[in-house]
Chains A and B, each alone.
Chain A
Amino acid sequence: AQKVTQAQTEISVVEKEDVTLDCVYETRDTTYYLFWYKQPPSGELVFLIRRNSFDEQNEISGRYSWNFQKSTSSFNFTITASQVVDSAVYFCALKTSYDKVIFGPGTSLSVIP
């Protein structure tokens, strides 16, 4: 069975703090893809990153970074020097060899000025 867990339901940080959003996944497939999406208060879903199971390199994009560790089945997302515009719900998702994408329940991040 495939499953995505985001144990942190809500996180609040003060602006400029670093914050890490956790994502743990379960799958028996050896080939799979992991995603992060952002849902700001306006409601749309914005794609942030895709990582395939063969590529464990960490990714950095500006203030965003992602740590993929197959040994712990985790794909964590860190925002450095958080800003108010980072306030959103963040979803981690898993796609295996089938056509479906499984989403985690989401983590609501509030950045307080």
Chain B
Amino acid sequence: NAGVTQTPKFRVLKTGQSMTLLCAQDMNHEYMYWYRQDPGMGLRLIHYSVGEGTTAKGEVPDGYNVSRLKKQNFLLGLESAAPSQTSVYFCASRGGQVQETQYFGPGTRLLVL
């Protein structure tokens, strides 16, 4: 039982390049989330999913797209990376009951030059 895993752990991109971050969970969780963490701002929600095939916008969705084709995977895409997207990205998942806790992946550090 690996919990929540994220791939890659670290990546450097040039402005305008694209990439996809992968989040995988093996807990059969319904809900999955993508956050970004920036100094002094806590975690801000980018997009989330309440089940396979569904996605919704969070607090800071611009410049990102997501897909949830399989229940265990949640992909975050950057079509044209910008320096403002330099951040640490965390994925989280939780079960279907409203009171359930989110569990986080180890994070992906992204640097956009």
Contact = CB atoms under 8 A, between A and B. Distances in A.
Interface residue SS majority, chain B: strand
Contact of A91 (B43, B98, B103): B43
Nearest to A49: B101
Interface string B92-113: 1000001101111011000000
A27 B40 CA distance: 22
A94 B18 CA distance: 33
Interface of B: 31, 33, 35, 40-45, 48, 50, 56, 58-59, 88, 90, 92, 98-99, 101-104, 106-107
Contact of A105 (B40, B50, B101): B40
Q: Indicate the size class of the contact surface on chain A.
A: 20 to 34
A91 B90 CA distance: 14
A97 interface: yes
A91 B101 contact: no
B106 A44 contact: yes
Nearest to A50: B101
A41 to B, nearest CB: 13
Given A43-B88, A43-B107, A45-B90, A101 B102 contact: yes
Contact of A44 (B31, B35, B45, B107): B107
A35 B104 CA distance: 13
B7 to A, nearest CB: 15
A9 interface: yes
29 contacts: A9-B40, A33-B98, A35-B101, A37-B104, A43-B88, A43-B107, A44-B107, A45-B90, A45-B92, A45-B107, A47-B102, A47-B104, A52-B99, A91-B42, A91-B43, A97-B98, A99-B50, A99-B56, A100-B48, A101-B33, A101-B45, A101-B102, A103-B42, A103-B43, A103-B44, A104-B42, A105-B40, A105-B42, A106-B42
